[in-house]
Amino acid sequence: MLDLNNTSTESFVKEGSAETFMTDVVEESKTTPVLAYFTASWCGPCKTMGPIIENAVNKTKGKIKLVRLDVDANQNIAAQLRIQSIPTVYVFMDGQPVDGFTGAKTAAEIEKFLAEIVKKSGGTTVEEILEEANQLLASGGVAEASQIFATVLQDYPENPIAYAGLISCHIFSDNLDQAEAMLYSTPSAIANSREIDGVRSNIELKRQAKASGSTHQLAEQVRNNPDDLQGRFDLAIALYSNNQLEEGIDELLEIFRRDQEWNDGAAKEQLLKIFSSMKPEDPIALKGRRKLSSLIFS
C-alpha cells in the first residue's frame, strides 16, 4: 500500500560514470529497478525530457532509481550498449537490461512506462493503490479513501481516477456543495474523462434524489396507477437514492418500454446518466445497458 506518511524529498536520481556504472546500475538493479538515462548537454530533446523523467522517478519514492550518463563522457558504455541516438533509456533489473526506449516522451507516457516497471518488479502501482482506495470507499471507509486519493493527487494532480475518487468521497459524505466545487475546479486535461463524467452524473442524480419523495409512498402510487409515468420516474430516482440501483433502473426501463418519447426521452437520458455514474464493468450497469439496447432495437 502507498506510504501515506512518506514526505521525504530525497532524490533517487544521480550522476553516473564508467567507474560507478557497475555499482550504481548493474548491482543496484539486483534489488531496485534502475534507469540508465543517456543524455548530453547539447541534446535539445534531452533538456525537455530530463526534468520530466527525473520528477517521475522521484515520485516513485525509491521504487525506481535513475542514473544519468553523459554519452560524451562515457563513450565506452554508450558503445557497449549500442547507443545510437539520445535521449535513450535502458531499464536494468536483476543486473540485466530488460527494457527501454529512445527519443523524448511526454510526462503521461513516462509515468505509464514507470508504472509497468514497478508492476514487473513486484511493487505497488498507482492504479493498484487507487483500486484499494475505491474498495475502501465502497465499504464505507470514506476517511481512509479520501486520504489516499488526496495523497496520490499531490504527486499526480491530473490523475482522473484520484480526482474523481476524492469528489466521490464528498458525495458519499453528502457534501454535495463541496463535491460540486471540486468538480468545477477539475483540471482541463481531465475535465472530459470518463471518471469525471461519472461523478458529474452522480452529483446530478443525488441532487434529484434529494427532491424525490418517499420510496414507499411512490411505490404505492405506481401500484395504484401503473400508467403514472411521472410517478414511476420519481420512484426510480428515490430507489437510486436508496442505493437500490437495479430496481431504479428497472423502473426507468419500464417507462422507456411504455413510451420511449415520454417527457422528451427523459427515461433514456436518466438511464444513461446512471450508467455513466457506475463503473463500466458493473454487472448491474451491463445488464441494464443490454436491456436498454434490446428495447431500442426491438
Number of separate domains in the chain = 3
Which pLDDT belongs to residue 280?
Answer: 83
Is 43 noted as a catalytic residue in this protein? yes
**Is the peptide bond between 283 and the residue preceding it cis, with omega within 30 degrees of 0?**
no
Which pLDDT belongs to residue 9?
Answer: 55
2 inside domain? no
pLDDT digits (tens, 9 = 90+) for 238-252: 898 788 999 999 999
Is 169 noted as a catalytic residue in this protein? no
100 inside domain? yes
186 inside domain? yes
CATH of the domain at 278: 1.25.40.10
Whether the predicted pLDDT of 199 surpasses 80? yes
Is residue 132 domain-shared with residue 45, that is, in the same domain? no
pLDDT digits (tens, 9 = 90+) for 51-95: 999 999 998 888 999 999 999 999 999 999 999 999 999 999 999
pLDDT digits (tens, 9 = 90+) for 131-153: 889 999 988 999 999 999 998 89
Is residue 248 domain-shared with residue 273, that is, in the same domain? yes
Is residue 114 domain-shared with residue 102, that is, in the same domain? yes
Q: Find the catalytic residue in 2, 25, 36, 43.
A: 43
Split at pLDDT 50, 70, 90, the class of 5 is very low
Is residue 113 domain-shared with residue 17, that is, in the same domain? yes
Q: Find the catalytic residue in 2, 35, 36, 46.
A: 46
80 inside domain? yes
Domain boundary among 123, 148, 166: 123
Is residue 111 domain-shared with residue 21, that is, in the same domain? yes
Split at pLDDT 50, 70, 90, the class of 278 is confident
Is residue 60 domain-shared with residue 115, that is, in the same domain? yes
Question: Which one has a higher pLDDT value, 155 or 101?
Answer: 101
Domain boundary among 80, 99, 123: 123
Question: What residues does 88 pair with on adjacent strands?
Answer: 38, 102
Instruction: Print the domain residue range for 200.
Output: 127-208
Is residue 88 domain-shared with residue 164, that is, in the same domain? no
Domain boundary among 185, 208, 231: 208
6 inside domain? no
